[in-house]
Structure 1
């Protein structure tokens, strides 16, 4: 492990700290923050309450260290986190600050399905945040996090930090290849009769009304149902515009989740980064927002290529 060094000033640097104790967390993360302040960087902590408390106490409550609520950055869905970090960099740049150092701690959730979503995120941001002047130190408590998450941390961070210094991570691999290697979990509801099945869709207004009527029977909050309906609309429109007919839609409703699949017979695409930002960047007038919106409106968006065509599966938990 090399001595601590400055990451590139003009682009994203993505480091991981896997720590076993509070002392190890402090010994590695605090120098990262203080060296950043000395270099004129902004310093941000966005972590769980325990980690935030430990680190703010260790820097003696230095007012230059900004604490941002974890939920305000990471939210509940991964594209929102990508957007939040970009905005953080943009605000700092507007204030004349060239780079932002962030000690970040993802809430990976309680289930393997949740873990997988954030594993994807950790791989995606190596590319999605590459042009932004952000230096992230992602912290992982090895005593609390599941082994699956810790293994993923070693696969998705180019650099590792310890109390002894910072160095390149030999286990880091190509993010796109890693994303393609992740499984698409099976959905047991797909083995049961759907609440609604529409084949060779052509009447999109009628489909929307039919889906909305079925969703209304779930008793879920109106905003949750509205978000899910918009996501179904967007993915059906995408299938029609970019795929090849017939377009088929199936909807399942259970007490704890909503699931919808939209399938077409087009060639599809092989881009595991799709939907983590607008397809055309900041120019939203050019469209390309469908999958991006769906990832923000649903808990899980899975894309598969079952033989000919593409199937997009939308899932929202009814919390």
Structure 2
């Protein structure tokens, strides 16, 4: 049985030297299914601090949860979440290290297999989704249109 203690520190809202209109945060945890909720909670807290409207925040947290669940399932070492907010756009990147090669395409319509449906949700909520795969693992980048107060 795994026992993990995870500590997530939210970045300050004001960062000297940060470009105007840019907020960015990164979280890395062991790739364990039990820690997916930690990444969802961190994303929720941060997006509240960034004043994202509730409906857009809920969509973004759903994307984070689906991608983090995939990273926890397929990654071997760790999973990372990077959120970048610019005026009008939220970029969500979830990466896993050491995962085997896998398909990151949404399932075919009517596919009875439940695996992969989360990626269909991500594709439905995001303006654009890109998958990067190399020998270190897989990164999925999803861009969401948002109304921001930056």
- Fold-level similarity (TM above 0.5): yes
* Partner SS state of residue 305, structure 1: strand
Higher relative contact order (CA 8 A, sep 6+): 2
**Aligned residue for 1:195?**
25
Count of residue pairs the alignment pairs up: 124
Contact kept, 8 Å, 1:299 with 1:317, in 2: the verdict is yes
- Tell me the alpha carbon deviations over residues 49-83 of structure 1, each in whole angstroms, 9 at most, x when there is no partner: xxxxxxxxxxxxxxxxxxxxxxxxxxxxxxxxxxx
Separation of aligned partners in 2, 1:225 and 1:298: 13
**Aligned residue for 2:127?**
299
Separation of aligned partners in 1, 2:41 and 2:141: 20
Separation of aligned partners in 2, 1:276 and 1:282: 6
Contact kept, 8 Å, 2:126 with 2:142, in 1: the verdict is yes
Structure 1 stretches lacking a partner, 5+ long = 1-188
Structure 2 stretches lacking a partner, 5+ long = 1-18
Separation of aligned partners in 1, 2:45 and 2:78: 23
Is the counterpart of residue 275 in structure 1 residue 106 in structure 2? Answer: yes
Separation of aligned partners in 2, 1:207 and 1:310: 17
Separation of aligned partners in 1, 2:31 and 2:24: 16
**Aligned residue for 2:48?**
216
Larger C-alpha radius of gyration, 1 or 2? 1
Q: 1:276 to 1:221 in 2, by over 3 A?
A: farther
- Tell me the alpha carbon deviations over residues 159-185 of structure 1, each in whole angstroms, 9 at most, x when there is no partner: xxxxxxxxxxxxxxxxxxxxxxxxxxx
Contact kept, 8 Å, 1:235 with 1:291, in 2: the verdict is yes
The alignment's TM-score, normalised by the length of structure 1, stands at 0.35
RMSD across aligned positions (CA): 2.6
Q: Normalized per residue, which structure has more strand?
A: 2
Separation of aligned partners in 2, 1:193 and 1:318: 13
Query: Which residues in structure 2 correspond to 1:108-257 (within 5 Å)?
Result: 194-202=24-32, 203-257=35-89
* Partner SS state of residue 310, structure 1: strand
Contact kept, 8 Å, 1:195 with 1:253, in 2: the verdict is no
Contact kept, 8 Å, 2:39 with 2:64, in 1: the verdict is no
Separation of aligned partners in 1, 2:115 and 2:38: 24
* Partner SS state of residue 24, structure 2: coil
Q: Normalized per residue, which structure has more helix?
A: 1
Offset of residue 256 of structure 1: 2.0
Offset of residue 201 of structure 1: 4.8
Separation of aligned partners in 2, 1:236 and 1:311: 11
Separation of aligned partners in 2, 1:288 and 1:201: 18
Moved over 4 A (4+): none
**Aligned residue for 1:313?**
141
Contact kept, 8 Å, 1:267 with 1:308, in 2: the verdict is no
